[in-house]
Copies of this chain bind each other. A is one copy, B any other.
Amino acid sequence: MNRMTTTVAVAGASGYAGGEILRLLLGHPRLRSGELEIGALTAGGNAGTTLAEHQPHLLPLADRVLQETTPEALAGHDVVFLGLPHGSSGPMADALSPSTLVIDCGADFRLEDPADWERWYGSDHAGHWPYGLPELPGNREVLTGATRIAVPGCYPTVSILSLLPAVASGLVEPHVTVVAVSGASGAGRAPKANLLAAEVIGSARAYGIGGAHRHTPEIGQALSRVAEVPVAVSFTPVLVPMARGILATCTARTTASAAEARAVYEKAYDDEPFIHLLPDGALPTTGAVVGSNAVQLSVTVDEQAGTFVAVGAIDNLTKGTGGAAVQSMNLAVGFDEVEGLSTVGVAP
């Protein structure tokens, strides 16, 4: 390995997280300049097949044969992205060198409180790693030079970023409601009857109501920290017939005015490269962020109902997973944070 070249391995390359990371790496300027190199691609049951069978959109890597996901296959790379089932990342990370940058797209290392982990996942807590959401206050410093990073869940990413300034500034009561619609890729690629196209097309359905969804404590953890008080979170995910995208409608009671709310958000996000507060009257669409790392955001206050409303849109696979992973890598290894990540979506 050339000391100028950062080598990258992707575990779970036949899944959606792995595919998105590879898509972004193929457009990364450091790849073209030779400073970044795509090494081992691994999979579980799909080991031995070519990448083209699973990711036909990644033509430059079409003939790559997937290796089995083992510590040996992943060893010797500077960066290892993990897109594995929940519970698999801990043992794998333990088997990799502490100096390897390991970026986990799974849930294993997101929650700080072991009780939260056990309540929602029902197994032993593996620990917690720096949280790959650079936009959290003070978090860029934590991620710079980190060797272990937990990529946030897709719903938490957009929910936290949509509510963060309001909660942190005390603009709203610490009791928030998030109803987020998502495309089907968020459920992953394992075949299940209720995710078949015929079931999803033409239908919307909530799932995990009443706090049942595992992303609930992750939202509460981040918001409570910035609020410095416990924030109660009611979270309802809704599956709608699209492949990509999350639109989160976030509400909380407030006595503030729309103008006050807007001022708080402008101040909070003015310098953020990926967060785009839309002008008054414009509203975000998930279509506008397909394939992009942008968060499009609108805020207002329903003064009659005394309710603050923030609506945020992301691509669950980009800013919600693979983009956050690459953004975190950029920070950790010292690249410019925005390299290889675009705020331009593929629309319509």
Measuring CB to CB, which residues of chain A are less than 8 angstroms from any residue of chain B? 16, 19, 23, 26-27, 52-53, 55-60, 62, 175, 177, 179, 181, 183-185, 187, 189-193, 195-207, 209-211, 232-234, 236, 238, 240-245, 247, 249, 251, 253, 258, 276, 279, 282-292, 294, 296, 298, 300-307, 309, 311, 313, 342-348
**Which residues on the B side are within 8 Å of A342 (C-beta)?**
26-27
**Which residues on the B side are within 8 Å of A59 (C-beta)?**
276, 292, 294, 343-344
**Which residues on the B side are within 8 Å of A305 (C-beta)?**
175, 211, 232-234
Q: How far is B241's CA from A276's CA once the two chains are assembled, in angstroms?
A: 24
A173 to chain B, nearest CB (A): 10
Q: Which of B199, B247, B287 contacts A348 (CB 8 A)?
A: B199
Contact B198 A184 (CB under 8 A): yes
**Which residues on the B side are within 8 Å of A201 (C-beta)?**
183-184, 197, 200-202, 241-243, 348
What copy number does this chain have within its complex?
A: 4
Contact B344 A204 (CB under 8 A): no
Q: Which of B27, B204, B209, B344 contacts A309 (CB 8 A)?
A: B209
Contact A56 B344 (CB under 8 A): no
Closest residue of B by beta carbon distance from A19? B347
